[in-house]
A and B are shown apart, each in its own frame.
Chain A
């Protein structure tokens, strides 16, 4: 246990150490007497106050405080309101451009008291602070620009946009939406989105919203209602996004009355055109029928009456040139029948009675063996007849066309 005298002695022997510590400190340190005049500065202080220029001056002048006496200087420096970096508790050294935080400490007893001033370099803090402020300013400007852009797009889009919250209440809308429904913004915001469409369609809109999944975009044509209760056709396009775990629906609305009118006009025109088509088709059919009838009559006359008569005439003619002329006339008349349903195939006329009989059996689907049995002729005879028939009809050599196929639909 040391007594007071020993403590005082210890302190006196440590005094040079304290002085060295004072001088070597990295902070600027100054000591002022009880009147507030600076009596001692440390080595670091030389940077700001070279050649001991601060000695003998009031501390409030040295530090550039707006004070005129010690009491106000003390009050200012000891005011707890001033946060680090506040002008009231900092000293800006003009020559080095360094910013210091001032800390005032009273030392010793009141009347004989002195003051210790510790000036801590906070230049870096100030620089950092202004850098942060710049960043905030820039980011705020960018944010404002994108908000402005969003606002412009939201309002400038040619369709109505309405944002709907989880209670199906409208929280925001653009001008076009107001115009489409004839409602002031105050009257749209806060109402149920379903009230914008006709009663009959409300369940549909409800379903549309409730069954929508995120990333899905669905459009539906519904009947909407204007402020004056007039209904009009509209398209509601819905998508959703999650906000704070609750759904936010984005509903885009479009008045398609004009479109619908055009659609109606098109449908009417189409119906009119179709009616005209049907009428025309009828007329065309009639004309075709008449033609078929006419040509049919001619063909039948040729096939049933004229050609047989010519053939009979041909049998009576002895003169070959006369018979040739007759065959020529036959050919011309036969060609008149082509394309009609009573078409006469030219070769058929040249067939003999037996050959015609065989053709009829072939047409009926009988094979050579069966024809042999029916006509009581040999296989070879039938085959020969078939060869001749093929030659007369102009089929010889072409293996593709069977006699049966050629004779199908032929009038014998």
Chain B
């Protein structure tokens, strides 16, 4: 009946899945990770890999006062109070531990500076040193380190193997998975079916469904196929649907987030997104080209930003001064691909981007004054003590267009990462979930860099939890 037997089966090879696999293996279990795509890593492998940490060593070194409660408050505010307070506590208190794990166990090197991300009240975000990922990006560097560990620990990561169903016994305990091997995504009928035994538990880390136009429109009809996405093509709802069919509880599925940093001049995430994310919003200004004025605090949460950007008729562009822009290591690539454009003067910028020159000059002058004084009276952008950059030539401009980015909702989990049943609200024995697939943590809107933190905190909890499950007796067919 079962082709192979493992202690723990993990579905998905992103941050959450691999973190769960590693913890389960370190606890002595035999582990199999299945991945439906041809390459491992999912969205994590193309992400920025930034991680938000409350009360971190770097904050202490830089004299920034912060606590897990403060982070929880920021998340609660952005999430419009829909977040589960218990899960907030787990992730905020676990953030420092997650950072330590990536640094000491995975060997990831971060730069000695913190980024002030959207929705955060203070700078909290660690970013990967460019010596690690090279031009691939921070997320790829972390996934690579995790895959190397998997290889060293003897964890098999099987590509092109997709989840078709969960196998449960009469008591409802999850005892195995039904998979299709040699699956050719996106051909849903492809592959040869097999059943794999999971003696202790199954961890679901299937990610989100931002690319699944059909499913996302059932939850938010506004997100038609016209909206592009930053996600990889596999970010679809098959895994989520399997879980829901087995009695998992859906939460916040309609809170699907658009990303405010993506460029209108390239497909998907591209090279421009990181530029906007790292530089553009913190050190530059967001201007509506039709009016020449700023219209929102650049560092507010993503939901507010994207809502304002998407308002009818607005043409949002991000303008960064030369001094700040040249600090971005991949600027040359962005310029080469035409995603970021360089202008030597405001007049030049105004002409090429169809903005009124006089209004723009006033906007930039007012902002520069705010930077010097430390207070943005107009829109309340936090202009912290860290580094102050004026908007001065040469100017670097990105044309932005919001794209579907992250699914805040998913299936409900408890503080131990166990999946809760829809009717009984009790854990489904043997079933765990972590990462974007789990819902209830971010509420209406996720703040910057909290996804990596969440994946590692709950991924590790899920793996450790599954490893502690007692071995079940023989299956009664």
A2 located at the interface, meaning its Cβ lies under 8 Å from any Cβ of chain B in the complex: no
Q: Which chain A positions have C-beta within 8 A of B147?
A: 182, 227-229
Interface-side segment among B40-48, B307-315, B367-375, B404-412? B40-48
Contact A186 B268 (CB under 8 A): yes
Name the residue on A nearest B42 (C-beta): A184
Quick one: given A184-B46, A195-B134, are A228 and B39 in contact (CB under 8 Å)?
no
Please tell me if the beta carbons of A175 and B38 are within 8 angstroms of each other in the complex.
yes
How many pairs of A and B residues are in contact by the CB < 8 Å rule? Answer: 57
- Which of B45, B159, B333 gathers most chain A CB within 10 Å? B45
Interface status of A179 (Cβ within 8 A of chain B): yes
B20 on interface, CB distance cutoff 8 Å:
no
Instruction: Count how many chain B residues have C-beta atoms less than 8 Å from C-beta atoms of the other chain.
Output: 25
Q: Chain B residues near A184 (CB, 8 Å)? A: 39, 41, 45-46, 140, 232
Residues in A neighbouring B134, C-beta threshold 8 A: 191, 195
User: Is A190 interfacial (CB 8 A cutoff)?
Assistant: yes
Instruction: For residue B174, give the distance in angstroms from its CB to the closest CB of chain A.
Output: 28
B144 located at the interface, meaning its Cβ lies under 8 Å from any Cβ of chain A in the complex: yes
Q: Which of A186, A187, A195, A229 has a CB less than 8 Å from the CB of B148?
A: A229
Interface size, chain A (Cβ < 8 Å): 16
Complex Cα distance, B43 from A184, in Å, reads 9
- Give Cα A230 to B148, complex, Å: 8
Can you list, as one digit per residue, whether each of B137-171 has a CB less than 8 Å from chain A (1) or not (0)?
A: 10010011001101100000101000000000000
Interface: A344 (CB within 8 A): no
Give the Cβ gap from A258 to chain B, nearest Cβ, in Å: 16
Q: Which residues of B contact A190 (CB under 8 A)?
A: 135, 271, 333
CA distance A99 to B39 in the complex (A): 61
Residues of chain A lying within 8 A (CB to CB) of residue B395: none
A183 at the binding interface (Cβ < 8 Å) = yes
B41 touches A227 (CB 8 A): yes
Chain B minimum-CB-distance residue to A181: B39
Provided the pairs A190-B333, A191-B136 are in contact, do residues A229 and B39 lie with their beta carbons within 8 angstroms?
A: no
Contacts of A175 in B (CB 8 A): 38
Interface residues of A in 198-227 (CB under 8 A from B): 227
Verify if B269 is at the interface (C-beta below 8 Å from A).
yes
- B232 to chain A: which residues have CB within 8 Å? 184, 186
**Provided the pairs A186-B269, A190-B135, A191-B135 are in contact, do residues A179 and B38 lie with their beta carbons within 8 angstroms?**
yes
Of A192, A195, A227, A230, the residue contacting B39 (CB under 8 A) is: A227
Task: Judge whether A187 and B151 touch: CB under 8 Å.
Answer: no
Binary A-proximity of B23-38 (CB < 8 A = 1, otherwise 0):
0000000000000001
> Does A28 sit at the interface, judged by CB under 8 A?
no
For residue A362, CB closer than 8 A to chain B, the reply is no
Asked if residues A230 and B151 are in contact (CB atoms below 8 Å), the reply is yes
B270: A residues at CB distance < 8 A: 186
Q: A195-B134, A229-B148 are in contact. Are A187 and B45 (CB under 8 A)?
A: yes
| Complex Cα spacing A229 to B39, Å | 14
Q: Which residue of B lies closest to A165 (CB)?
A: B336
* B residues in contact with A195, CB < 8 Å: 134
Interface flag for A164 (CB, 8 Å): no
Within the assembled complex, what's the spacing in Å between the Cα atoms of A203 and B40?
Answer: 28
Given contacts A228-B151, A230-B151, 11 further A-B contacts (CB under 8 A): A178-B39, A184-B41, A184-B45, A186-B269, A186-B270, A187-B137, A190-B135, A190-B271, A190-B333, A228-B150, A228-B157
* Interface of B toward A, CB cutoff 8 Å: 38-41, 45-46, 134-137, 140, 143-144, 147-148, 150-151, 157, 159, 232, 268-271, 333
